[in-house]
Amino acid sequence: MPVQGGSGVAFSSILKVDCTKTSPKRVYRRRQPEKSVLYRALAQHFESFLLRYEQRFEKSFGYLRTIVRDTVYRFLDCGILESGFARARCKACGYEFVVGLSCKARCLCPSCHKKRELIWAHWAGEQLLEDVPHRQVVFSLPKRLKIFFRYDRKLLGELAGCAWRALRLYFQIYFDRDDIVAGAIGFIATAGEMLNFNPHIHVLITDGGFLKDGTFRHMLYWDTDKLEELFRAEVFRLLIEKELIGRDTVNNMLSWKHSGFSADASVRVETIADAVRLGRYMIRSPLVLERLKWDDERAQVTYQARPKRSKGPSGGIARWDVLEFIARVTDHIPETGQQLTRNWGYYANASRAKRRRESGLPNSSNDTQNDQREQDRSDGHRQRRLSWAKMIQKVYEIDPLLCPFCGGEVKILSFIIRHKTIKKILDAMDLPSQKPEPLAHSPPLFRDTTYVPL
Ligand SMILES: [Zn+2]
Ligand SMILES: [Zn+2]
C-alpha cells in the first residue's frame, strides 16, 4: 500500500508501509492557500507594491512599516510545502504524511488568524467567562483623531486603556460605589467594514459588576451618552499628555454638534456560549476571504460588505486595483508583540489568580507579581498546547495528531526546512504544482513601470 502525501498523492518511492484499513474521509488534505485571491495577489504583486509604495500610498497610508514586508513573506510560505513541512508517522501502522508549516501571522493569514480565534474561544468559554449576561461595547473616534493611531500603533494599547477607564468610572457612577468591578475583555481593531483604517475598541463586558464577596449586581440600563462623554475625556487627556493635540483643538472639538466619538452598547447576550460567539466576532480577522473576489473582466479585486451593510448605490461592493487592495489589507497587520486583547477588572489575570488562591486551587509558589505573570504565561502556554490539536481539528476537519489512515497516534518525525531536502522529498512525492495561478489581466496596471509579469 503506497503512502500518501499531504495532498493525498502517493509517494510510495519514499516509504512503503502495510496498512490495510483505509478511510478516505479522514485523509489529511492539505489546505491550499495558494488558491485564494489574497495569496495570488500578494504572490504576484507584492514586489510591485513595494516599488510603488512611496509614490502612490505613502501620503495616505504613512511610511511602509517593516512588519508589513516580514509578515507578507511569512504568509506566502504558510502551508506551502515547498517552504518546509513536518514529516509525521503513525505509531500503529507506519503511515507517513507531511503537514505544511504555518506562519502564525495575525490579521493577515486567514488560516492562522482563525486558529487564534478558536483557541481564544475555547479558553474563554472554559476558563475565563463567568456565567452572567454580557454586553458588547464599541468605542470609536472622530476622523480628526484617527490619524495619530495610524502613525503610532502603540497608542492603540493606550486607546484600549481609555475605554477601560471610562467603563470602570461608569460602573462606579452607576452603582454609586467604588468597590464594584466588571469583568471585561478589550479587543483592539483597526479595520472598518471595507478594510479602511478605523481604529476602534470592542469590549466584551459583564452586564453588571461583582462585589468583593463575589455577588453579581446587574446593570439595568446603559446611558451611552454618559459613557461616550467619559471615553472622550479619557482620549483627550491621553492625546494632550502625548502632546499630539492642544487645549484649543479640544475646545474646538467640544463645540461640534456631533462629537464624532461614540460608545455603542446595544448588543447583550445571556449565555456563556453567546458571549463566546460575540468575542469571536470581535477577535475575527479583518479580511473575510469569502467576501473577496477577483473580477477577471475589470481586472479588479472586489470586496462585498456583509449583507446588512449591502444597501446603497454600490450594493456594498468595493472595487480596488490589486495594489490598493494590498495597501488596505496590509494596513491592519499589528506590530510585533502588539497585544490585541486585554483582560480587565474581574477578568484580569491578577484578579483571577487571587480568586484561585483564595479558593485553594493550585497557584504560583510565590506571591510576587512577576511570578504570577510567569505562571499565567505558562498556564496559557500549556493551555494553548493542549488545545492545539482540538483546534486544528476544527480548522482542518481532521486531527493531525491522529493517523489519517488508521486513527492511530502520530509522531512528528522531523521538520524539513532545507531547500535541497524539501525538493528531493517533494519530487519523490510527485505533488502537483503549488504555484499560484496569476490573476487574469492584471499586468496592464503596471504599464508605466518595468514590471514583468511572472
Ligand atoms: Zn498562516
Ligand atoms: Zn495508522
Note the ligand closest to the C-alpha atom of 36: 1
Three-state DSSP at 390 gives helix
CA-closest candidate to residue 86, choices 387, 380, 392:
392
* C-alpha triplet 363, 168, 335: angle, nearest 5°: 70
User: Mind listing the pLDDT tens digit of every residue in the chain (454 residues)?
Assistant: 333 433 333 333 233 333 334 433 334 556 788 889 999 999 999 999 999 999 999 999 999 999 999 999 999 988 888 888 888 888 899 988 887 778 888 999 988 888 888 889 988 998 999 999 999 999 999 999 999 999 999 999 999 999 999 999 999 999 999 999 999 999 999 999 889 999 999 999 999 999 999 999 999 999 999 999 999 999 999 999 999 999 999 999 998 888 899 999 999 999 999 999 999 999 999 998 899 999 888 878 999 887 766 566 556 888 999 999 999 999 999 998 899 999 999 999 999 999 888 887 655 433 444 444 444 455 555 555 545 555 555 444 445 567 777 878 777 787 787 888 888 888 887 776 677 777 766 654 444 444 434 3
Tens of pLDDT, residues 117-164: 888 998 899 899 999 999 999 999 999 999 999 999 999 999 999 999
Q: How many A from CA of 409 to the centre of ligand 2?
A: 7
**CA contacts within 13 A on the Cβ side of 180:** 20
Gap between the Cα atoms of 9 and 57, Å rounded: 43
Interval between CA 417 and ligand 2 midpoint (Å) = 25
Would the CA dihedral through 219, 222, 228, 229 be positive or negative? negative
Cell of 198: 478605523
pLDDT at 20 (0 to 100)? 39
| pLDDT reported for residue 296 | 80
C-alpha of residue 292 to centroid of ligand 1, in Å: 18
Nearest to residue 279, comparing CAs of 206, 364, 354? 206
Q: Which residues does 254 contact at the CB level (< 8 Å), separation at least 6? A: none
- Look at the alpha carbons of 121, 122, 123, 128 in this order and tell me if their dihedral is positive or negative: positive
Q: What is the DSSP letter of 365?
A: S
Q: Any alpha helices (H) in 271-410, and if so which ranges? A: 272-283, 322-330, 349-358, 369-396
**What pLDDT does residue 305 have?**
84
Residue 269's closest CA among 112, 135, 452, 381?
A: 135
Helix (H, G, I), strand (E, B) or coil at 115: helix
End-to-end C-alpha distance for the chain, whole angstroms: 39
Each residue's pLDDT tens digit, 368-401: 444 444 444 555 555 555 455 555 554 444 455 6
| For the chain, domain boundaries | 24-107+397-446, 110-394
- Residue 377: how many CB atoms within 10 A of its CB? 11
Ligand found nearest the CA of 17 = 2
Q: Which amino acid is at 266?
A: S
- Considering every ligand atom, which ligand is closest to the CA of 113? 1
Q: Are 305 and 193 in contact (CB under 8 A)?
A: yes
Q: Kindly identify the ligand whose nearest atom is closest to the C-alpha of 23.
A: 2
CB 288 within 8 A of CB 309: no
Q: What are phi and psi of 442, to 5 degrees?
A: -80, -25
